[in-house]
Chain A
Amino acid sequence: MIIKPLENTPVTAPQFNDMNAALSVYRTFKDNQVLQMSDFYKFISRSSNERDEFLQLFTPTVIIRNNLYVKVSYN
């Protein structure tokens, strides 16, 4: 069986299993500002240094699917 190298295997954009819980963390992260889910979605669906910083507050779960892609989920 040929196993492909993982170097070029794409990694998914962040996934969250509980967006409401993640929103609470985001509010704290943003100094308890009044923020809605739409604000959080706008933040979490665009790559930025601040988002990377935010994601470090979580422990990711990583699943490699058939060496096709790496699925990364938080909370």
Chain B
Amino acid sequence: MGTNDAINYLAGNPVLIPVHTGGLSSTGRFRIYTGDNYANLVFEGVAFSASGIALVDVTELFESYRSVAGVYPAKMATVDTMGQEYVDNGTVNNEYLLKFKVFAGGISKALQRKLVALNTNIFDWKLKSNNSNFFLTTRTNGESIVIPENELLPLYYYGRSARFYIMVDGFAEFTIDPSVGTTDTLQAVDIASIRESLITSKNKLVSVFDIITDSSYCCSIVITDSIFQTEYFLKFRNSWGAWEKIAIDGVVGFTPTFDDVTKVTQWDDVIADFVSKNKRKKATNAFSAYVGYKTASERLFIIDLLLSDTVVLIAHGLEYEVNISAELPTLINTSSDPVNVSLKIEFIDTETNFSDLIIDSEYEVLSTTTLENITSGTADIVV
């Protein structure tokens, strides 16, 4: 067996590694390494299979890669009974070395079934495709990525070997040419910056950008009007581990919850005895908010927000980590008519002291654009 560089997995879906066990009466010992130089031995095990190849589920090893967009190289090597790693020299029997990559994120079982039925996989169909929407957004897998202008964030994708172009009115305004080492690394295009730069270079304000490769049209990025004027947003890591942003129509209700009273014992000098005292309670701040009228497909995007493990409330440019829940009946309403979805936003941090609320007007002097963290995380912004 030789080296195979072509195997890719998603951390959020089963990672099944084929281990060559050597045949009916033998077992295969194997080791898994991670890191750019495969320096970290993360697992060592033994597999048996009468057919000679055992599929070993190592999904748990890559659990921590699930939520933050990126590509993580790994290697599986079979080892002989003396613990000596076989190398790919083509002469030793039973040698096997498998290099593979684990990409952050995951896809639904429903989409997995659809891709199997289409005889393809998520890498050919989307992530490495040169003729479809390859961006790491869960707004849509379709050809038209619609983003309100106040929800723009850099759009992530995985670097590809093929060139692509950002087109405006049929002309290629930007060419993204793969340079050495960017294939399969996390990259991003900052559409807001591109839009602003075209004012200087082309004297135009543009709201539609077409993405094409040398061989095909991929998708369009359509910037729409903001749904409402607001200083409140939710930013979350989507199913690909990439940041998304949703505007919310203000923070309308403040409904804190309080822990039960806890007693402490103190010494009382007057009566020379111990007495009970109340300890300050802990409060969890919670707000309710509306995300505005959403179509059926936009409500699917809200479900990705609810599934996220990292959600941040941006209020007047300041960020607070929160948990989100929603009124399910409105969210899963199958009507094609837009429905206004209500969310409950609960702060992760509890408080024992009271200060002004984030909805107080004095915070409005803060500017969203100067304070909000709109970086692309670990991605290189190529435009």
Contact = CB atoms under 8 A, between A and B. Distances in A.
A14 B207 CA distance: 7
B223 A12 contact: yes
Given A8-B295, A19-B203, A44-B205, 8 more contacts: A10-B146, A10-B224, A13-B207, A37-B200, A45-B205, A47-B149, A47-B228, A48-B229
A28 interface: no
Interface in A1-52: 8, 10-20, 22, 37, 41, 44-48
A12 B204 contact: no
Interface in B203-220: 203-208, 220
A68 interface: yes
Contacts of A37: 199-200
A8 B208 contact: no
B222 A15 contact: no
13 contacts: A8-B336, A10-B144, A10-B146, A11-B224, A13-B149, A13-B207, A15-B208, A41-B199, A45-B205, A46-B226, A46-B229, A47-B226, A68-B222
Interface residues of A, number: 24
Contact of B208 (A12, A19, A45, A47): A12
Interface of A: 8, 10-20, 22, 37, 41, 44-48, 65, 68-69, 71
A19 B295 CA distance: 33
A69 B210 CA distance: 13
A15 B206 contact: yes
A14 B205 contact: yes
A68 B146 CA distance: 10
B338 interface: yes
A68 B220 contact: yes
B199 A19 contact: yes
A65 B207 CA distance: 13
